[in-house]
Structure 1
Amino acid sequence: MSKTFSGWILRTAKRQVNLLQEGKRSYSQCLQRRGQARWRRAHSGSAAARLCSPPLCSSDRSYRHTAEDVRYQLLPQQINDLLRANEQSVKMADGEGRNRGTVLKMESNILASNSPCEDRRSAATCLQTKGNLFGIFDGHAGAACAQSVSERLFYYIAVSLMPQGTLEEIEFAREHMKPVLPILQWYKHKNDYMPREMASLYVDHLRVFWQELIELDNGSGMSVADAMAYAFQRLDSDISLEAQHYTDNEFIKNLALEIAFSGSTACVSHIDGVHLHLANCGDCRAVLGVQDEGGAWSGVPLTEDHNAFNLSELQRVRSEHPEEEDVVSDCRLLGLLMPLRAFGDVRFKWSQGLQKSVLHGACNAEPLNIYQYSPTNYHTPPYLTATPEVTYHKLRPQDKFLIMASDGLWDFLDNQEAVRLVAEHLSDIREPRISMGKRSLGTMHNLLLQRRSSGIHRPDPNVATHLIRNAVGTNEDGELDQERLAAMLSLPEDLSRMYRDDITVTVIYFNSSAIEAQYQDGEQRR
């Protein structure tokens, strides 16, 4: 094993196991307070219960001290440049498209805290079946697993949905080295990294998967719920097997191990007409923005966070390991991992014997001794699963948008606050249009001054950026604070993660008219 990768394994092990030891207590306290804040939000629903200033640290004095230590004060334009660097906006198919116009557009953004960023996102249209796919992936112990899952999971879902005849056509083309039917149309931002070193291995394993589906002879393909659940589990299994497969290519071997030993949560939506399916594995979240007939807005969560603050999830994990009292301690799996479901993280899935064997074989020398960092209560693996919780929602005309985001956003905003921010952005309440007409320049000037004095502004055309700006920059009084925003964005890398996580947001807007039309079509066909 290369020295670089050996060092990475050691750093990963220390990061996961010694989080509560060896001088890391302050960071642990930050994370614990973040979890406590989530608990308060879940049980109170009060805006006062959310994390304010400081967001993740242990005391107000700690935040003030950090803010004072930041010498570099960002200018407004520099703040905008940082916030908007990863913006993405895509208009989806119109009324003639495969989704029959129920999805108008999606807007997305990523704000990194870790260096490199450990979050990923994906968006694509299924070309051989119906529907659009959107995904949020939150990595930990590095970005390798999140990167791999963001590249591959949609293919596994799309293939699972294909009818028998399409799968056979794809296999025939592959077997005879002819052009294969395109599976997905991707919507990628220029900064969405797509490494190609593992492409051949990924295609080979995807082919094995569709060959197995052909042998199942499932006729018209799986249901969406079954396809999503099966794809999650199968991809996680392939990630595990790839780390156990030894090749002569040292780089690929090390990268496969890095992917398997790091981890990632995932939240994926599949939208086909009025049919919305969500598959969630971990603590990313999806919230539906609903507007009633009176114009009032509400946030409806469509996923459950898989962490220790979800009592049913906590009970599930404990019931699978009834003899182990410390299976969840300090709000973490084995005292180490916050999400209770995730891809990768084979240190929580493999037996210690298998871990030792794989690492020994990879090293071709003395096995890398990571067991000095292993928890003493590691008795009955696997402790972690990538099995998603799949939910279904039939879209209604009052369903206006869907917010999907990594937990970095939800550390600052509760569901209702996020929906309110998007609703204000959508309805244009905060930025009324000023008609020039016959107004004098003096009148226009006064209107602009009134807008500025009342705080009415909407600097971000992209709603995901609007959410991120307000999440990071809102103070304890619920007001957008430019000084706080500048300080949070100016934090050096070694401090930034103590105050905020990577934040990834995708907002999907629905076409109410198209949804209503589908209901009317359904009534006419009866």
Structure 2
Amino acid sequence: MFSTVSCFFLHSVKKKTNYFQKQCRQYSRKLICKWRQVKPQHTVTARIFRDPENVVFQLRKDQRCSFTQEVFQCQLSPVQINTILRANELSVRIPEFDGRSLSSVLRFESNQLPANSPTEDRRSVATCMQTKGMMFGVFDGHAGFACAQAVSERLLYYIAMALMPQKNLVDIEFAVEHMKPVLPILQWYKHSNDYIYRESASLYIDQLRVFWQELIDSDNAEGLSKKDALSHAFKRLDSDISLEAQIPLNNDLMKNTAIQVAFAGSTACVAHVENANLHIANTGDCRAVLGVQNEDGSWSSLPLTNDHNALNEAEVLRVLSEHPMEEKDTVIVENRLLGLLMPFRAFGDVRFKWSKDLQKSILENGFDLESLNIQQYSPPNYHTPPYLKVEPEVTYHRLRPQDKFLILASDGLWDMLSNEEAVMLVAEHLTGIHANEPVSTSEKQVSLGEMHSLLIKRRTRTVPPYDTNVATHLIRHAIGTNEYKEIEQERLAAMVSLPDDLARMYRDDITVTVVYFSSELLRTL
């Protein structure tokens, strides 16, 4: 397993690996909360948080390990690298007219590269069949994949139901009640590797039915507005996840899944596109960035989400305002919620939402916590729950002809690339034109060495892209480029062949979906 990387590289992480294996058996599976990077190319440190009753191990990824000074001797060929990078590619062209309406979405391209085994990221894409529009979602799980999996399967259904007119909901209820066929609600676009919680399908349908029955009783003839539907769907699904972990279930497998989903967590970013109307609902630190082509042909990025973490001052103030002044020094510790959790909004994570008594009563109800990979502990300074919320921040943007594409991605991509870098990579992939900034020798003296480095950097940017799928193009550049923005095959080989217990020290799971818009249609709207 370790033969794919050089001895030099292994020695550089040997001490860290031994430490984690001794302290928490397999740190990649025993971590309570996800760990994040603020800036790349540094080192990983570990911290141990203790409360009076429990020891909680947490890997601190304040900074990532750097490959800049290391030499690799990887055995993977370019063909093998491409096979790994392209294993989860998905590319779909959307018909301009689907029999009901014109679509402003031309196509979308998506891909995933795991760091965890299995990956904790999920993605979803679907067309609304009983209303108009398409939905795209990226979900970043932590403390396991269970919550992200459940949310990726269920959230788009909740949104679709909340958007439906009352008449459609009544028709669905009548069909289910009388065991008649139900018209399709969503048309899914799935990869063959996408997994489904089949054992929980009946529970999920029952809960969804309760939701649409309540929507019928609300007597909203036209359905909710896009903003209200997105927000209501997020909150209702999180409430159902919490409820399912508390109610008695006859099926042990279903019961175990419900408890795993509730105690794991997931951030989520969902885009709803209908003609020129783009709504983004975001909870956590996935991100949606719009690629805009300016009149002069240059490109700019337009972020449509805010990260819900300690780097967001408004989010910090919100969290602090929801708890007594006596807790102002303990609610956020070292940029983490209660010193443990990086995102300040998420699905699941009932450990940060339920009371201590409720958590204890559920976890002591005969579950095999070790086999479920759930640790029984209380976060430190846990006095006034809930500390975590799921309510999304919903933004609206009216699409213009210059809005060419939308990048939805988990934070694994944004750890490695800035908004501007990601937009430029997609723009260059789309147009085949590589933008270079002009060099002005009048502003500063450029040495021969600096000019040589600049020319090398510019030469590498003129190389045609390796990948037809733009999501793969982004992932390749995120993990495989050097300081000159040049793809290094040895570096790339090392990054995709890292053993499971080391990969997470150098990168996160990465999920990317890029949505291309029809400028011609947008000009007519």
TM-score w.r.t. the length of structure 2 is: 0.83
Structure 2 residue aligned with 1:415: 419
CA–CA distance in structure 2, aligned partners of residues 419 and 341 of structure 1? 26
Q: Is the 8 A contact 1:73 1:490 kept in 2?
A: no
Matches within 5 A, 1:430-469: 455-469=462-476
Structure 2 residue aligned with 1:472: 479
CA–CA distance in structure 1, aligned partners of residues 416 and 28 of structure 2? 29
Report the AA paired with residue 408 of structure 2: M
CA–CA distance in structure 1, aligned partners of residues 31 and 459 of structure 2? 50
CA–CA distance in structure 2, aligned partners of residues 369 and 284 of structure 1? 25
Report the AA paired with residue 503 of structure 1: I
CA–CA distance in structure 1, aligned partners of residues 484 and 266 of structure 2? 34
Report the AA paired with residue 87 of structure 2: A
Structure 1 residue aligned with 2:16: none
Report the AA paired with residue 92 of structure 2: V
Structure 2 residue aligned with 1:443: none
Structure 2 residue aligned with 1:374: 378
Structure 2 residue aligned with 1:201: 203
Matches within 5 A, 1:479-498: 479-498=486-505
C-alpha displacement of 1:490? 1.6
Report the AA paired with residue 47 of structure 2: L
Secondary structure, counterpart of 1:169 in structure 2: helix
Secondary structure, counterpart of 1:160 in structure 2: helix
The answer to whether the aligner puts 1:429 opposite 2:433 as a matched pair is yes
Q: Is the 8 A contact 1:113 1:497 kept in 2?
A: yes
1:427/1:361 CA distance change after superposition, 3 Å: same
Structure 2 residue aligned with 1:3: none
- The answer to which structure has the higher helix fraction is 1
Q: Is the 8 A contact 1:287 1:302 kept in 2?
A: yes
Structure 2 residue aligned with 1:176: 178
Q: Deviations over 1:409-433 (max 9, x none)?
A: 00010000000000000002269xx
CA–CA distance in structure 2, aligned partners of residues 116 and 395 of structure 1? 36
Q: Is the 8 A contact 2:120 2:140 kept in 1?
A: yes
CA–CA distance in structure 2, aligned partners of residues 76 and 370 of structure 1? 39
1:27/1:429 CA distance change after superposition, 3 Å: farther
Secondary structure, counterpart of 1:514 in structure 2: helix
Report the AA paired with residue 347 of structure 1: R
C-alpha displacement of 1:95? 3.9
CA–CA distance in structure 1, aligned partners of residues 230 and 246 of structure 2? 25
Structure 2 residue aligned with 1:115: 117
C-alpha displacement of 1:26? 11
CA–CA distance in structure 2, aligned partners of residues 340 and 84 of structure 1? 32
Q: Deviations over 1:126-179 (max 9, x none)?
A: 000011000000000100000000000000000001111110000000000000
Structure 2 residue aligned with 1:53: none
C-alpha displacement of 1:480? 1.8
Matches within 5 A, 1:25-36: 28-29=59-60, 31-33=61-63
CA–CA distance in structure 2, aligned partners of residues 17 and 480 of structure 1? 28
Q: Is the 8 A contact 1:87 1:109 kept in 2?
A: yes
Structure 2 residue aligned with 1:298: 300
Q: Is the 8 A contact 1:99 1:131 kept in 2?
A: no
1:132/1:281 CA distance change after superposition, 3 Å: same
Structure 1 residue aligned with 2:33: 16
Report the AA paired with residue 466 of structure 1: H
Structure 2 residue aligned with 1:436: none
1:75/1:195 CA distance change after superposition, 3 Å: same
| Equivalent in 317, 327, 332 of residue 328 of structure 1 | 332
CA–CA distance in structure 1, aligned partners of residues 49 and 390 of structure 2? 30
Report the AA paired with residue 140 of structure 1: H
C-alpha displacement of 1:194? 1.4
RMSD: 2.8
The aligned length equals 461
C-alpha displacement of 1:376? 2.8
C-alpha displacement of 1:319? 1.0
Q: Is the 8 A contact 2:461 2:486 kept in 1?
A: no
Give % identity.
Answer: 62
Decide which moves more: 231-240 or 477-486: 477-486
CA–CA distance in structure 1, aligned partners of residues 504 and 460 of structure 2? 34
1:231/1:17 CA distance change after superposition, 3 Å: closer
Q: Is the 8 A contact 2:138 2:270 kept in 1?
A: yes
1:452/1:418 CA distance change after superposition, 3 Å: closer
Structure 2 residue aligned with 1:106: 108
Decide which moves more: 71-80 or 327-336: 71-80
Structure 1 residue aligned with 2:190: 188
Q: Is the 8 A contact 1:403 1:505 kept in 2?
A: yes
The answer to whether the aligner puts 1:344 opposite 2:348 as a matched pair is yes
Structure 2 residue aligned with 1:358: 362
C-alpha displacement of 1:356? 0.6
Matches within 5 A, 1:44-123: 56-57=64-65, 64=70, 68=72, 72-95=74-97, 98=100, 100-123=102-125
Structure 2 residue aligned with 1:37: none
C-alpha displacement of 1:341? 0.4
Structure 2 residue aligned with 1:317: 319
C-alpha displacement of 1:374? 2.3
CA–CA distance in structure 2, aligned partners of residues 165 and 490 of structure 1? 53
CA–CA distance in structure 2, aligned partners of residues 25 and 478 of structure 1? 39
CA–CA distance in structure 1, aligned partners of residues 502 and 143 of structure 2? 17
Report the AA paired with residue 229 of structure 2: A
Q: Is the 8 A contact 2:338 2:380 kept in 1?
A: no
Report the AA paired with residue 515 of structure 1: L
Q: Which runs of 4+ in 1 moved over 6 A?
A: 10-13, 22-27, 368-372, 451-454
Structure 2 residue aligned with 1:393: 397
Secondary structure, counterpart of 1:16 in structure 2: coil
C-alpha displacement of 1:452? 9.1
Secondary structure, counterpart of 1:115 in structure 2: coil
1:95/1:310 CA distance change after superposition, 3 Å: same
| Equivalent in 395, 407, 428 of residue 403 of structure 1 | 407
Structure 1 unaligned runs (5+)?
1-6, 34-55, 432-450, 519-526
